[in-house]
């Protein structure tokens, strides 16, 4: 059997096509010529028969309900030239992450595969991308379903309440693994002395996070979660600067 192109190369082209269409929709700038408009919005837990035919890329948007913890995409009997990716969450500026949160497929034989689960905040918007080797024969139809996944820890409240008159500190950093910055990681800040002791922040496409108005006299702890993996916890105290940086690297698998 002819060797397939790298999954990473196919994924990069597929994401560029779908993201170009979704980010430029309604904007003054027209999408790139290779843009692929989403086929519509997927309903959770409702199987969909996907027929790529001769097309190389297809994508759909998914809006998660408020009570969501995580999300995964399941493919039944995917053709060997097909793969699926979950991209998200979409930023408040309308931009999508540069890398997928999870992907699966492009196996030597037709077989089921699952992309995820990944942590996904309630109300967040995701992009599901199905793509294939454009040089291969047209792909036969396959089943795709996006499901909520309760195995991901529930996000904690996202609001810090600080005493009036206290000038808070800002903590920033980048979550990384062996491949570089990690988008969509859930960073937890724990401050046992605060009114709300645990808050979370999802990293952007550059792996960055930020916590504002942290009490300067409290001990705080930081750690990050992505795809079931935790970073080592970092403890910070004695803030002597208004702006503190603490990066969170994942250990090697």
pLDDT on residue 251: 79
SS3 for 7? helix
pLDDT on residue 25: 47
pLDDT on residue 29: 34
Query: How far apart (Å, rounded) are the C-alpha atoms in residues 251 and 235?
Result: 17
Query: How far apart (Å, rounded) are the C-alpha atoms in residues 99 and 94?
Result: 15
pLDDT tens string 84-105: 888 888 877 777 777 777 777 7
Residue 3, both tokens: 């060797």
Q: Are 210 and 200 in contact (CB under 8 A)?
A: no
Tell me which H or E stretch contains 23. helix 7-24
Closest by CA to 208, choosing from 248, 250, 159, 251, is: 248
The reply to whether 169-249 shares the fold of 7-148 is no
pLDDT on residue 143: 87
pLDDT on residue 30: 36
> What is the end-to-end Cα distance of the chain in Å, rounded?
31
Cα distances from 117 to residues 59, 71, 103, 149, in angstroms, run: 18, 5, 10, 6
Query: How far apart (Å, rounded) are the C-alpha atoms in residues 115 and 95?
Result: 21
pLDDT tens string 221-244: 999 999 888 999 999 887 777 778
pLDDT on residue 28: 32
In this structure, which topology does domain 7-148 adopt according to CATH? Jelly Rolls (2.60.120)
92 CB neighbour count, 10 Å cutoff: 7
pLDDT on residue 177: 92
**CB neighbour list of residue 64: distance below 8 Å, 6 or more residues apart:** 44, 71, 120, 121, 122, 123, 124, 125, 126, 148
Mean pLDDT rounded to a whole number for the chain: 74
Instruction: Answer positive or negative: Cα dihedral of 60, 65, 66, 67.
Output: negative
Q: Are 104 and 129 in contact (CB under 8 A)?
A: no
SS3 for 14? helix
pLDDT on residue 154: 45
Hey, where are the domains in the chain? 7-148, 169-249
Q: Quick one: CATH architecture of 169-249?
A: Sandwich (2.60)
The segments of the chain whose pLDDT lies below 50 read 1-8, 24-34, 154-166
One DSSP character per residue, 87-98 reads: E-PPPTTSPPPS
pLDDT on residue 26: 38
Query: How far apart (Å, rounded) are the C-alpha atoms in residues 119 and 89?
Result: 9
**CB neighbour list of residue 75: distance below 8 Å, 6 or more residues apart:** 82, 84, 104, 105, 112, 113, 114, 115, 130, 142, 143, 144
Query: How far apart (Å, rounded) are the C-alpha atoms in residues 82 and 59?
Result: 13
């Amino acid at each position: 059997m002819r060797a397939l192109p790298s999954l990473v190369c196919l994924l990069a082209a597929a994401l560029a096509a779908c993201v170009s269409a979704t980010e430029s929709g309604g904007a003054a700038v027209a999408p790139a010529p290779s843009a692929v408009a989403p086929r519509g919005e997927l309903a959770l837990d409702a199987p969909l028969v996907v027929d790529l035919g001769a097309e190389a890329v297809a994508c759909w948007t998914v809006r998660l309900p408020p009570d969501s913890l995580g999300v995964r995409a399941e493919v039944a009997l995917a053709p060997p030239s097909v793969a699926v990716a979950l991209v998200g969450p979409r930023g408040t500026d309308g931009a999508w992450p540069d890398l997928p949160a999870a992907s699966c497929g492009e196996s030597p034989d037709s077989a089921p595969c699952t992309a995820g689960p990944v942590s996904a905040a309630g109300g967040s918007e995701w992009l599901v991308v199905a793509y294939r080797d454009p040089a291969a024969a047209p792909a036969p139809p396959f089943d795709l379903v996006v499901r909520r996944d309760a195995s991901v820890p529930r996000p904690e409240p996202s609001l810090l309440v600080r005493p009036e008159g206290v000038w808070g500190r800002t903590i920033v950093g980048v979550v990384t693994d062996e491949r570089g910055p990690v988008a969509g990681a859930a960073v937890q800040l724990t401050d046992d002395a605060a009114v709300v002791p645990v808050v979370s922040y999802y990293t952007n496409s550059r792996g960055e996070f930020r916590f504002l108005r942290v009490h300067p006299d409290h001990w705080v702890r930081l750690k990050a979660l992505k795809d079931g993996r935790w970073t080592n916890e970092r403890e910070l105290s004695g803030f002597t600067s208004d702006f503190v940086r603490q990066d969170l690297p994942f250990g090697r698998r």
